[in-house]
């Protein structure tokens, strides 16, 4: 099982330029039942990578463009009356998919944003009092516009905390990379619905194998101390909750699995720390004005918390 997944991850990297770490994070999310909040400039391949990930594994992919007039029912679905059948029929929304890409999440009003919370946390939705389960493999990838942009609504800490991981895309570093992106775009358009794995539920099956990855008490304490270090810093007005420790634990095990190891080492924790912690740190305005960033606190924690031997 592990070899199949690692092979699929490596093959998918051949179609993506400059985002090998994002590809690995997508597989970590799939293996841990987590969701990813993606930030960064427009046109940097967020939607394309999400679709490639879903389709290449034989899963379904749907995209929702958030707008200020979007209703919760536009995402989760609603009942309508079928005149010919003389009965109420459920029209399922795009949320019933394996990979859901929510574009510009913070353009939607809070009521619509909140429609995602039950789905992301409970892996189910409630429509007119009836509860419907979502697919076994269900991953939400959401992008957001820069904070403060006109026509946006700030994401609440509750919703942000439902995202296991965050990632920031960037523009091409040089002209050679940009040319490679242009050439790869033609290749991707000619792929159609290509598949590397025929059943995306293989990620769910691998979840059982990951549960057997060994995590020592020293590693567990290392994770807890990193989170506590940030929690005790005065720069943060809101700090990571215990959910951050849970996701660092799960992500470290998934990363060890993808690295073909049966136990977690400190380097695994260090690699996932940025993805788990950054979006959970809310800085005080006075420190933001001084140029302090979330990544600065994470790097400070990784430098100062003693690494277990």
Summarised one tens digit per residue, pLDDT across range 253-278 is 999 999 999 999 999 999 999 999 99
pLDDT value for 150: 60
The vertex-33 CA angle with 100 and 134, nearest 5°, equals 55
Q: Where in the chain are all domains bearing CATH 1.10.8.80? A: 212-309
Whether CATH 3.40.50.300 fits 1-205? yes
Q: Which position has the higher pLDDT, 194 or 107?
A: 107
Residues 8-61 pLDDT 10s: 999 888 888 888 899 999 999 999 999 999 988 888 888 889 988 998 888 999
**CATH 3.40.50.300 placement within the chain:** 1-205
Tell me the mean pLDDT in the region 169-174: 85
Task: Report pTM.
Answer: 0.92
CATH of domain 212-309: 1.10.8.80
pLDDT of res. 147:
62
Residue-wise pLDDT for 222-259, tens only, equals 999 999 999 999 999 988 999 999 999 999 999 999 99
The whole-number pLDDT of residue 115 equals 85
């Amino acid at each position: 099982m592990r070899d199949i997944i690692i092979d699929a991850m490596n093959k998918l990297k051949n179609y993506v330029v400059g985002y090998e770490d994002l590809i690995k994070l997508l597989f970590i999310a799939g293996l841990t039942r987590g969701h990813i909040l993606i930030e960064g400039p427009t046109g940097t391949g967020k939607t394309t990578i999400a679709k490639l990930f879903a389709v290449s594994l034989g899963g379904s992919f749907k995209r929702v463009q958030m707008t200020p007039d979007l209703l919760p029912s536009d995402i989760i679905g609603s009942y309508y009356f079928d005149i010919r059948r003389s009965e109420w029929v459920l029209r399922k929304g795009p949320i019933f998919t394996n990979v859901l890409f929510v574009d510009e999440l913070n353009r939607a009003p809070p009521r619509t944003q909140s429609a995602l919370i039950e789905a992301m946390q409970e892996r189910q939705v409630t429509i007119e009092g009836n509860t419907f389960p979502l697919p076994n493999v269900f991953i939400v990838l959401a992008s957001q516009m820069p904070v403060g942009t006109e026509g946006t609504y700030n994401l609440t800490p509750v919703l942000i905390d439902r995202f296991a991981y965050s990632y920031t895309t960037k523009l091409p570093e040089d002209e050679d990379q940009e040319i490679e992106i242009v050439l790869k775009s033609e290749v991707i358009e000619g792929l159609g619905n290509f598949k590397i794995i025929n059943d995306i539920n293989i990620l769910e099956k691998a979840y059982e194998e990951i549960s057997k990855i060994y995590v020592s008490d020293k590693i567990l304490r290392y994770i807890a101390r990193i989170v506590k270090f940030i929690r005790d810093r005065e720069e943060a007005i809101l700090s990571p909750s215990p959910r951050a420790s849970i996701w660092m634990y799960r992500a470290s095990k998934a990363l060890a699995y993808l690295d073909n190891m049966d136990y977690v080492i400190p380097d695994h924790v260090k690699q996932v720390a940025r993805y788990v912690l950054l979006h959970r740190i809310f800085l005080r305005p006075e420190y933001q004005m001084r140029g302090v960033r979330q990544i600065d606190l994470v790097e400070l924690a990784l430098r100062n918390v003693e690494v277990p031997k």
